[in-house]
Structure 1
């Protein structure tokens, strides 16, 4: 081979042997309960420079969520690109018909049945950091993990957090770490400090951060309340701090803002337990204070409830439950919007464990008392969990980064398209996600 030709061949071989340029980092921030109108409208008096600036410089969308539109199933869809029927996180609280699990939530990542963005990135050799994302206890391969979990809100929760977090976390340099049960805006601000410290220490390729204070305040005071609006302004400031920290490390960082569901105002509660008890589907202890046994039972999810059967293949039982639900829905005092059967649940991506799914009317939420009348007043001023086709349940997407067009409105998108888009920005694939990327 002539010297010049040999040199050219060697150069070509060397160029093809070089690793592809690393994808820019992705910072994914979830703001619980963020409706699109909060940042899309500029005439609502809210000062949201971080969110609106990111939207103006990138792509954005309203998002149709999953069944049910509650935090844990939705966040798992956001991290997997799959519906609850596939990923296995069917509700916030685990199914606990006899109420013996002390309000145990789906905290553990071992319950997720499909591949997560965390796993895909870690398996690709990327550094991954998580702060407080739902269903994150025990995620394997993370560089640093501060998972979300709580039990009592007492000091022992801090010991539990330290035991379940990556060794050496929480970081002392970032100040006290809020307990898992602290859903206040102050708790968000404390976790933001820890997230910034982890960004600076590890310079991750992929980071997830979850902020919950806006959801908490909308439950307490209602959507559009002055208290909720004030919390959102402070969350916007926290987002600005996170983005500034990430882009100080790498200016090419892609920032993805997501939310899990919308919100609706509430004032009254419906109750499926009482008519189920009257129909003999639920039996109480002798003193009436607890559930002793059941044939069919509601599994509440905010503004809706799945109905579980003790014997799913019992046709007579299923027919009896259908008749009871039809009777409840016909009562205007019960506040029922509509009832899904198992076929409709499957089409909506809800859990296969539900035989029926009941949706409340606007202004109503699902109660779980074992006695009392329908339509009782509730102190909860805002709720989600309604069927995903309810417009008030739409959530948010804002994505800002190199190569994304400025100011592009994607319209209304499916929540399952977000994780594949994040995967593409990371240069990885999600093997279980089926829909094309949103951006």
Structure 2
């Protein structure tokens, strides 16, 4: 009866489902749509993704969320809502006095909207997750969440404690050690794919989510479109083929959904954003370099930076910071393209705790060292986090399966449309989604 009620709700909210059956949802962090759509021009061999284009449907580009970062985007991909609603506003938690020791937003309890995982559980469907961001404690039957601290062997104990009880020990008995969460190499992705394939074969889940980190890792380090990044994309395509083969061996009616979270810009310059805040008395440090007080502090987002206020409803502080930022924007060496206030941030679906947002010009990003010069060579060669209206930030969608409602190019789509599309294939209800299904 519960299954029938869920189906009825899905039909009312999203129309007739495109297809009923299991879904394998794979995220390739940082995959640009043109890397696949224009693969021949890059000399790139991605036969699995190209087959999905030919036989299924794909987006020319996916317009992402504010900010165009991994964790907010993956929360949107699993909920169908923007950061303002799901609550994951950045990769790292806001930590003005640095007591969390670079803690990321790992915990699913921070997602304040229903997820595909919770919708599947409500419908009595079995789920598997391997390394999806913001998945610690997620309502998943067989969960290997993404988590790390230092890369020390103690991280293995942490992973064992946070995964589904007994799952990691059993898998490692047959497959060997599971890759450390902090390891974003191609080899680590290949390791996790072996574990995902084993879970799929053993448990035949209705919904599987798998995250691959290596494309993003190499595009940060070596630049988008670099030879090394293209090789990594090709190896990710091979991994996609392995996962699809494992799933289709037991579930021929499988729908495969390959997504990414953002695009990439080449970057060359780090801007010292902290020094002006310190000079203006908005942040105070002691002799040891620890923050002792703050009124306003940047929350780094790669190609942008949120500004969080200690008293966001204090009109005097808001006016003071607005005037300070307006002056900062007039300095061309700061590389600032736009300043957004709270109203503009809300209109773009950004996190509610951010009072202002500094959007950098292409090629610029915020540096993290308050003692550095105003401009220094960037520590990365590729970056994202720029405004979602930037075409370079567009992410990817490729989908293949029985009975798709649409085939071929879907044009430009909204990232928030992906989760309700997956929900419709699964025949589960995701009524909170902020966009309609597109496949």
Partner of 2:13: none
TM-score, normalised via structure 2 length: 0.93
For 1:110 and 1:33, the matched residues in 2 are separated by 25
Secondary structure, aligned partner of 1:340:
strand
Kindly state the Cα deviation for residue 252 of structure 1 after the two structures are TM-superposed: 1.0
For 1:308 and 1:122, the matched residues in 2 are separated by 36
Partner of 2:159: 161
Partner deviation per Cα, 1:413-438 (whole Å, 9 max, x = no partner): 11000000000000001131131112
Partner deviation per Cα, 1:71-103 (whole Å, 9 max, x = no partner): 000000000000000001010000100111110
TM-score, normalised via structure 1 length: 0.93
Secondary structure, aligned partner of 1:432:
coil
Partner of 1:437: 437
Kindly state the Cα deviation for residue 367 of structure 1 after the two structures are TM-superposed: 1.4
Kindly state the Cα deviation for residue 135 of structure 1 after the two structures are TM-superposed: 0.5
Partner of 1:117: 116
Partner deviation per Cα, 1:211-248 (whole Å, 9 max, x = no partner): 00000000110101111111111111000100111111
Kindly state the Cα deviation for residue 371 of structure 1 after the two structures are TM-superposed: 1.9
Provide structure 2 residue ranges, at least 5 long, that are not aligned to the other structure. 9-16
Provide structure 1 residue ranges, at least 5 long, that are not aligned to the other structure. 1-15
8 Å CA contact 2:20, 2:426 repeated in 1: yes
Partner deviation per Cα, 1:363-385 (whole Å, 9 max, x = no partner): 11111222222221112110001
Secondary structure, aligned partner of 2:322:
helix
Secondary structure, aligned partner of 1:63:
strand
Kindly state the Cα deviation for residue 210 of structure 1 after the two structures are TM-superposed: 0.3
For 2:314 and 2:148, the matched residues in 1 are separated by 37
8 Å CA contact 2:106, 2:133 repeated in 1: yes
1:37 pairs, out of 17, 34, 37, with: 34
8 Å CA contact 2:270, 2:379 repeated in 1: no
For 2:239 and 2:405, the matched residues in 1 are separated by 25
Secondary structure, aligned partner of 1:207:
strand
For 1:293 and 1:228, the matched residues in 2 are separated by 42
For 1:159 and 1:336, the matched residues in 2 are separated by 43
For 2:284 and 2:375, the matched residues in 1 are separated by 23
Kindly state the Cα deviation for residue 405 of structure 1 after the two structures are TM-superposed: 6.4
For 1:256 and 1:369, the matched residues in 2 are separated by 40
8 Å CA contact 2:116, 2:419 repeated in 1: yes
Kindly state the Cα deviation for residue 406 of structure 1 after the two structures are TM-superposed: 7.6
For 2:123 and 2:397, the matched residues in 1 are separated by 25
Secondary structure, aligned partner of 1:354:
coil
For 1:285 and 1:147, the matched residues in 2 are separated by 38
Secondary structure, aligned partner of 1:245:
helix
Partner of 2:91: 92
8 Å CA contact 1:336, 1:360 repeated in 2: yes
Kindly state the Cα deviation for residue 195 of structure 1 after the two structures are TM-superposed: 0.2
Distance 1:120 1:406, change over 3 A: closer
Partner of 1:107: 106
For 1:355 and 1:159, the matched residues in 2 are separated by 38
Partner deviation per Cα, 1:341-362 (whole Å, 9 max, x = no partner): 1111000000111110011111
402-411 or 239-248: which moved more?
402-411
Structure with greater Cα Rg: 1
Kindly state the Cα deviation for residue 315 of structure 1 after the two structures are TM-superposed: 1.2
Secondary structure, aligned partner of 2:410:
strand
For 1:25 and 1:81, the matched residues in 2 are separated by 19
Map of 1:286-297 to 2, 5 A cutoff? 286-287=287-288, 289-297=289-297
Partner of 1:67: 66
Kindly state the Cα deviation for residue 322 of structure 1 after the two structures are TM-superposed: 1.1
For 1:175 and 1:382, the matched residues in 2 are separated by 33
Partner of 1:266: 267
Partner deviation per Cα, 1:12-68 (whole Å, 9 max, x = no partner): xxxx9xx99993110000000011000000221000001111111111001000000
154-163 or 169-178: which moved more?
169-178
CA RMSD in angstroms comes to: 1.6
Secondary structure, aligned partner of 1:293:
strand
